[in-house]
A and B are shown apart, each in its own frame.
Chain A
Amino acid sequence: MANPGLTPSEIAGRYPVEVRETNTFKTHGVSWQAANDYFKTPEGLAYLQKIIDANSGSSRTLSELKNFAVGQVRSGLDLPRMETIDEPLVKIVPRGEQVSPHTPFFARRSAFEDAIANGHNLSERFGLPIRSEAQVYDIYQIRPNGPTEVFVNTIAPTSELGGQVVKSGGAEQYLVPNRRLYSEAVHIGSIGKRLGAASGAGRWAGSWCADRRAERDSSGSRPCAPHRWRRPLAGHRWPCAGSL
């Protein structure tokens, strides 16, 4: 967990430049060699093909693209497995921020839902940088243009500020090496960081669920079932989310 005795805001106040620039943020996933070995496998080669396709027309060197891919894979505790999906993925960013058109880091909605239902701290579970912690988050969604291969692994532990802040990771992430295969990120709602144990949890879940219901209604499929949500334990503070 984070630096004992200091809240995230205290840490951000003490190291404002480092926190803002996130250059000390590190992932502790698979080794460089393991990632390199992965790119000799059929799935690894498929990953590289998508990176190349995403950068067709650019002057980027292959070495740069390879290191780009290695860095993405190394954010995981394990090597990615390839899956074909035809459903939206989401990302959460501090309110007012935009989703980069280049970032490959996304998740299924269910990953956030499961984390919340199990009382996890989202910032911990998704190994987020301090900078990505906020009071309110915007939810963005990308939708594949058709059935699309994605690469799934477990978020590795992370550290920041030379290890003063560490987070456990453990959630499932979806790596999207070619964003051209998806729609642009669309804002679909917002969530708050801190919500009361009684009313807040319902509001959080209700808001999220309302988004799901609207989406499913538009596709003609079964609406969301709000009763699946659990309230947090007494005294539990809802964690902040961040930009995954």
Chain B
Amino acid sequence: MNQTIDPIKLKAAAAHLEWVLQQYPDSEEVQGLLRALTPLIESAKSRGIESPIDSNDVPGAYNFAQGLYMPFETPNVGGAYSDFIDELRGGLTEQDRQILAQMQTMRDRSRGHG
């Protein structure tokens, strides 16, 4: 897997994540995440990130994994964070797309559409 950064997509994901996090000024958890991510977001916005970054090296990875940001759904903190880490590791792979397609089938089946 030789993933490469798409600086335009990464910049867009960073800007969106920053905006989403700013929508929760009274949340200590979300503002803490914003503080921790700001250097990375700023680098992404200025196209300063050239090599993929492992998702576990992104601040907030553990908090995200244990669902800390799930209550912040509108706008969706977890979704914006997820998109950002996807771009930081160089975008979705073909394997990602296959898994997501399987997940879509599962979700459709659960909703009675399959």
Given the complex of chains A and B, what is the CA–CA distance between A12 and B60 in angstroms?
18
Given the complex of chains A and B, what is the CA–CA distance between A26 and B56 in angstroms?
6
Interface of B, helix, strand, loop or mixed by DSSP: helix
Verify B67–A102 contact, CB threshold 8 A.
Answer: yes
List A1-25 residues whose CB lies under 8 Å from chain B: 17, 20-25
Q: Which residues of B contact A26 (CB under 8 A)?
A: 56-57, 61-62
Find A63's partner among B54, B55, B82 (CB 8 Å cutoff).
B82
Please give the distance in Å from A31's CB to the nearest CB on chain B: 8
Which 5 pairs from chain A and chain B are nearest by CB? A102-B67, A71-B65, A21-B32, A23-B36, A64-B82
Task: State which size class the interface on A falls in.
Answer: 35 or more
Interface flag for B46 (CB, 8 Å): no
Q: With CB as the reference atom, state the residue of chain A lying closest to B95.
A: A36
B-binding residues in A (CB < 8 A)? 17, 20-28, 32-33, 36-37, 39-40, 45, 48-49, 52-53, 56, 58-68, 70-72, 74-75, 100-105, 129
Verify B73–A60 contact, CB threshold 8 A.
Answer: yes
Verify A32–B89 contact, CB threshold 8 A.
Answer: yes
Q: Which residues of B contact A129 (CB under 8 A)?
A: 62
Q: With CB as the reference atom, state the residue of chain A lying closest to B93.
A: A36
- For B94-110 the 0/1 string (1 means CB < 8 A from A) is 01101110111011001
Verify A52–B106 contact, CB threshold 8 A.
Answer: yes
Interface flag for B64 (CB, 8 Å): yes
Verify B62–A62 contact, CB threshold 8 A.
Answer: no
Known A66-B103, A71-B62, A105-B66; 17 more pairs at CB < 8 Å: A23-B32, A23-B36, A27-B61, A52-B106, A53-B110, A60-B73, A60-B78, A63-B79, A64-B78, A64-B79, A67-B64, A68-B65, A68-B67, A68-B82, A70-B55, A100-B68, A102-B67
Verify A74–B100 contact, CB threshold 8 A.
Answer: no
Given the complex of chains A and B, what is the CA–CA distance between A193 and B68 in angstroms?
25
Please give the distance in Å from B51's CB to the nearest CB on chain A: 15
Given the complex of chains A and B, what is the CA–CA distance between A26 and B55 in angstroms?
10
Q: Are A67 and B55 also in contact (CB < 8 A) when A60-B78, A61-B79 are?
A: yes
Verify B103–A62 contact, CB threshold 8 A.
Answer: yes
Verify B99–A48 contact, CB threshold 8 A.
Answer: yes
Interface flag for B76 (CB, 8 Å): yes
Q: Which residues of A contact B59 (CB under 8 A)?
A: 23-24
Q: Which residues of A contact B96 (CB under 8 A)?
A: 36, 63, 66
